[in-house]
Amino acid sequence: KAGVTQTPRYLIKTRGQQVTLSCSPISGHRSVSWYQQTPGQGLQFLFEYFSETQRNKGNFPGRFSGRQFSNSRSEMNVSTLELGDSALYLCASSRTGSEQYFGPGTRLTVT
Amino acid sequence: GENVEQHPSTLSVQEGDSAVIKCTYSDSASNYFPWYKQELGKGPQLIIDIRSNVGEKKDQRIAVTLNKTAKHFSLHITETQPEDSAVYFCAASNGAGGSYIPTFGRGTSLIVHP
């Protein structure tokens, strides 16, 4: 069974730009969650989607948004990028909601 | 909200030794405790988990214990091997509404010396 895939793997953007990251979950998994990982803050929950609906949201500003499509694929968008948005963005999928399987992440660098 | 403390931040052992990583949590409603292993350049990998109705769980060289009263849970790795070197994260969550949103510890960098 194929694992969680994320594209692109690496991205360099300039302050003020926006970015869209993509995640394809494991086949049959309807829950997709997004996390931000930084050396300073560790692993932080961004949001979770289940059956195209946002089920939970973490404590991040409205510049961070996401969506899920009918095939469970998900995208997250960050608008008006700031230097502090530089991070590894991880996507995780789950069939049951508890056991989460992570993708390799997208490394975003904001200059 | 939930707060998870993880210790130590770095653990260095010789190949063949055992390694123990400890976590504490604050929310007594938490009922699901996964452990993840993250190797360089990769996403976290679920290696073992435990639910609040169980005190211990084993999977080959890995075991996890949970003390609900003290709000402690620990990861035990026996007969460590160099390929066990990685960063390990503990997490705690509760399945409110069928959704498990984990709060992660800050991670433990395990180094296994050959």
For the CA atoms of A83, A86, A91, A92, the dihedral, rounded to the nearest 10 degrees, stands at: -110
Express each pLDDT in A75-96 by its tens digit.
Answer: 999 999 999 999 999 999 999 7
Residue B37: its pLDDT value, please?
Answer: 98
Mean pLDDT of chain A: 95
| pLDDT at B52 (0 to 100) | 87
Query: Is the CB of residue A9 less than 8 Å from the CB of residue A106?
Result: yes
In chain B, what residues touch A94 (CB-CB under 8 Å)? 100
| pLDDT value at B98 more than 80 | no
With beta carbons under 8 A apart, name residues in chain B contacting A44: 104
Cβ–Cβ gap B98/A99 under 8 Å: no
Cβ–Cβ below 8 Å for B34 and A98? yes
Distance of CA B105 to the CA centre of its chain: 9
Per-residue 3-state assignment (H helix, E strand, C coil) for A74-111: EEEEECCCCHHHCEEEEEEEECCCCCCEECCCEEEEEC
Environment class of A85 (CB within 10 Å of its CB; exposed 0-12, middle 13-18, buried 19+): buried
pLDDT number for residue B95: 79
Give yes or no for residue B39 having a pLDDT over 90. yes
pLDDT (mean) for A62-74: 96
For residues A45-66, average pLDDT: 94
Confidence class for position B96, pLDDT limits 50, 70, 90: confident
Contact A90 B101 (CB under 8 A): no
CB of A21 less than 8 A from some CB of B: no
SS3 content of chain B, % helix, strand, coil (to 5): 5, 55, 40
pLDDT in tens, B45-82: 999 999 988 899 999 999 999 999 999 999 999 999 99
Percent share of chain A, pLDDT over 90:
93
- Which residues on A lie below 8 Å from B102 (Cβ)? 45, 100
Output b/e per residue, B63-98; b: 16+ Cβ within 10 A.
bbbbeeeebebbbbbeebeeebbbbbbbbbbbbeee
Q: What is the pLDDT of residue A2?
A: 82
